[in-house]
Amino acid sequence: MEITPDHIIYWQSGFFKLNATLVFSWVTMLVLVFMAGWVTRHLAVGPDRISRWQHGVEIIVTAMRDQIGDASRQDARPFLPFIGTLFLFIATANIIEIIPGLMSPAASLSTTLALALCVFIAVPLFGIQSLGWGRYLQHYIEPTPVMLPFNLISELSRTIALAIRLFGNVMSTSLLVAILLSIVPLFFPVVMQAFGLLVGVIQAYVFAILAMVYIASGMRRQQAKTDAADATVASEGQA
């Protein structure tokens, strides 16, 4: 039994290879893009002409927007594409696992690491977009420049933890189902498969919320310091 779909290789030419992770990722992407395009092809504005599919998609999008807003305490619109895509990709990848013959690409550490790296890159990008280069990079050397290595290690460890948490959960669920299937071949694996669906969606939610929290905490921490400094300057000016 393969622990990760990376090891299922369909084609390889030197460094380039076509493994199950990439194939199932494309399947996931196709499903998502096809459904999105199909639902949004005829969108209705009037509340009395909305289709059930549009209702469902609007519920998902607005739920994600509300969750992002709650987690970030900011306007959710700039973060929705990134965080929403993380959630939908991981959730869909975990859901398609119930189809026989398909595996979740999230069960690959390469995939979760790739997603964690995306978060790792997105955190400074959103911070710089919000605060500017200087003010964002300043927090790496605070309270003293001595803290720079520790701050960098913190960022890296957070990214690695994010990747391994998702990989471990998804992989362990798949592995657990496989083991149970070999021990108790009837009935119980079905229950565990359903449980795996729930765990997969929860993991997608946790990953997306953690990513949002990382992005928002970086922005908010620097923003709080800036606001406090502005308030101090203002009070001194009044005095």
Does the footprint of other proteins cover residue 208 (CB under 8 A)? no
Does the footprint of other proteins cover residue 26 (CB under 8 A)? yes
Does the footprint of other proteins cover residue 31 (CB under 8 A)? no
Does the footprint of other proteins cover residue 43 (CB under 8 A)? yes
Does the footprint of other proteins cover residue 179 (CB under 8 A)? no
Does the footprint of other proteins cover residue 113 (CB under 8 A)? yes
Does the footprint of other proteins cover residue 3 (CB under 8 A)? yes
Which amino acid appears at position 13 of this protein? S
How far is the C-alpha of 33 from the C-alpha of 188, rounded, in Å? 34
Extract the tokens encoding 78. Answer: 């700039």
> Do 54 and 44 form a contact (C-beta atoms < 8 A)?
yes
Q: Which of 8, 29, 96, 181 binds other proteins (CB under 8 A)?
A: 29
How far is the C-alpha of 25 from the C-alpha of 90, rounded, in Å? 10
Extract the tokens encoding 202. Answer: 């929860």
> Rounded to whole angstroms, what are the CA distances from 178 to 1, 24, 172, 189, 230?
9, 19, 10, 8, 58
> Do 130 and 223 form a contact (C-beta atoms < 8 A)?
yes
> Do 232 and 90 form a contact (C-beta atoms < 8 A)?
no
Q: Near other proteins by CB under 8 A, which window of 52-60, 150-158, 193-201, 222-230?
A: 52-60
Question: Whose Cβ is closer to other proteins: residue 80's or residue 175's?
Answer: 80
The footprint of other proteins (CB under 8 A) covers 3-4, 6, 15-17, 19, 21-22, 25-26, 29, 32-33, 36-37, 39-40, 43-47, 54, 57-58, 61-62, 65, 77, 80-82, 84-85, 88-89, 105, 108-111, 113-115, 117-118, 167
